[in-house]
Amino acid sequence: MKINQNYLDLKESYLFSLVAKKVREYKEQHPEREIIRLGIGDVTLPLVPVVVEAMQRAVLEMGVRETFRGYGEEQGYAFLRQAVCGYYAQKGVQLSDSEVFISDGAKSDLGNILDIFSTDNTVLIPDPVYPVYVDTNIMAGRKIIYVNGTAENGFLPLPDETIKPDIIYLCSPNNPTGAVYNSAQLESWVAYALEHEAVILFDSAYEAFVQDQSLPTSIYQIPGAKECAIEFCSLSKTAGFTGVRCGYTVVPHELVRNQTAINKLWLRRQTTKFNGVSYIVQRGAEAVFSAEGLKQIRANIAYYLENARLIAETLKDLGFWVVGGENSPYIWLKCPDGMNSWQFFDYLLAKAGIVGTPGAGFGANGEGFFRLSAFGDRNDVLEALARLRSL
């Protein structure tokens, strides 16, 4: 028996587990301290009423012989896949429901998709970025090349013609920096992927936070993207589903590599390894995409974006270098006084009882930076800002 040795190349803990462990240890030593959590992007507002009602109806159906359901389609119920297509149509993107795969969240599918790609592929990953992309490729032993996101390029790296990647990860709005690619920038990524016959794995988990109407919220708004991109999205941040679990992955029929339709491979993988998301959850997700659902979730998103505005404004007032928070729920700041990311993490926790996420956890270019999440309760955010001001 041999273990997968690649796992030994991973950092000992996943970023957010390490942060949680440090906070637990601090809390054990200082039980009296009230901690404000602006670290992991976990939502605090409850599910919106239309979602709750839809799930309640689904629970009742499951308790009646005539409407009870057993296994669903591995790809997701047609009613939800069609609702997702309807949502994309509002963005000017036409999809067929056989291109949509319902998942239990973007994180799972971003990792699982790698099953259908050879481990010989070279992977291009922006740095800093959501650590799941790096860790899942280390697990498979793939070669990773980084493109640098820096303050100079607004944390939006563009294609590097000296690199010939097979798989390209993009996250826009970006986690952790909140930066959003404009159409021209995404066009250059699509052209680059087509030129190298690469596949873009586009993470749009934060698309619902984009306020600037000129910015793309799906890679498929860019001509040619259906021939080179898979898009992953989640209702975690869009509709408060972090604990409910539901997302979707779009694999267009036009995406063909090695004379093989990628959609077919992914369907084969999913039908073998996945039994779908629960009926109750899928009915809740369907309600998100109704006119009333979209209205209700947008009110929650506006609440979080107001938190983001308050955080960014206060930090700027205090002389911090800050980006993000306008089209995203994350605020990305430079650590003060030359502190590195983990020093600032310890300092904020000890002096103000505030938890954030060290930028270094998102890649080498995140060192010296720090991420605050706007998903907190408003009173907690205001209390955190008052504590920051008094530091």
Catalog residues that contact ligand MLT under the rule CB under 6 A: 40-41, 107, 130, 175
- Based on CB atoms, which residue is closest to ligand MLT, 175 or 217? 175
- Based on CB atoms, which residue is closest to ligand MLT, 106 or 116? 106
Q: Report the C-alpha gap between 147 and 170 in whole angstroms.
A: 11
Query: Is-cis flag, bond preceding 128, omega within 30?
Result: yes
Name the residue whose CB lies closest to ligand MLT.
41
Between the alpha carbon of residue 60 and those of residues 63, 64, 65, 285, the distances in Å are 5, 7, 10, 17
Shortest distance (Å) from residue 337 CB to ligand MLT: 25
What 3-state DSSP class applies to 82?
helix
Torsions phi, psi of 240, nearest 5? Answer: 70, 35
- Based on CB atoms, which residue is closest to ligand MLT, 112 or 121? 112
| Nearest to 366, CA basis, from 11, 15, 7 | 15
Torsions phi, psi of 370, nearest 5? Answer: -155, 145
- Based on CB atoms, which residue is closest to ligand MLT, 166 or 326? 326
Shortest distance (Å) from residue 120 CB to ligand MLT: 28
Shortest distance (Å) from residue 237 CB to ligand MLT: 7
Shortest distance (Å) from residue 338 CB to ligand MLT: 25
Shortest distance (Å) from residue 165 CB to ligand MLT: 24
Q: Are strands 354-355 and 36-37 parallel, antiparallel or unpaired?
A: parallel
- Based on CB atoms, which residue is closest to ligand MLT, 198 or 331? 331
Shortest distance (Å) from residue 56 CB to ligand MLT: 27
- Based on CB atoms, which residue is closest to ligand MLT, 279 or 332? 332
Q: Report the C-alpha gap between 228 and 168 in whole angstroms.
A: 10
Torsions phi, psi of 260, nearest 5? Answer: -125, 130
Please tell me what DSSP assigns to residue 329.
S
